[in-house]
Amino acid sequence: MVLQKLKYLGKALALFKIFKTYSLTNKDIADADNLAEHLSERKAEFKLILAMANDSIKGRYKIGKLNLGIIVATVVYVISPLDAIPDVVPVLGWVDDVAIIGYALSRLKSEVIKYQKWVAGKKIGIDRSINRVR
């Protein structure tokens, strides 16, 4: 029991070290997008998080540091081989990823709503700088 706790503590410390210094890349987002197929009911929400990250990386959408940190941690956790339950374990390997995504979404609720409004505004052609329709 103690050895198992130490094993998980070691994994948690390794993940923390990665999260603390990590910057998402376009490749990370593409890798995460490919893995999204395994997330069943959280697939659409995870893809939304990926879109937010992608727009932030490209400078199109501004996200606060805390929210961006939550997004980075979520994406890195999903693509990282260092997992509480390794993804090679059928079905169970994705349960922890789905739980992490659910937690991230609960923390990002207001940011997600803001992002969805921003995307909707872009689709109908609202120029936010002068507040009128193009």
Domain that holds residue 126: 25-131
pLDDT exceeding 70 applies to what percent of the chain? 61
Residue 118 lies in a domain: yes
Residue 14 lies in a domain: no
Indicate the number of domains in the chain.
1
- How far is residue 15's CA from residue 9's CA, in Å, rounded to a whole number? 10
What pTM did the predictor assign?
0.64
> 9 versus 109: which is more confidently predicted?
109
Both tokens assigned to 46: 């995870």
Residue 7 lies in a domain: no
Residue 19 lies in a domain: no
Confidence of residue 52 (pLDDT cuts 50, 70, 90): very high
HEC per residue, 23-61: CCCHHHHHHHHHHHHHHHHHHHHHHHHHHHHHHHHCCCC
> Over 50: is that where the pLDDT of 50 sits?
yes
Residue 130's pLDDT is what? 43
Residue 4 lies in a domain: no
- Which secondary structure element, helix H or strand E, spans residue 97, and what is its range? helix 92-107
Residue 10's pLDDT is what? 66
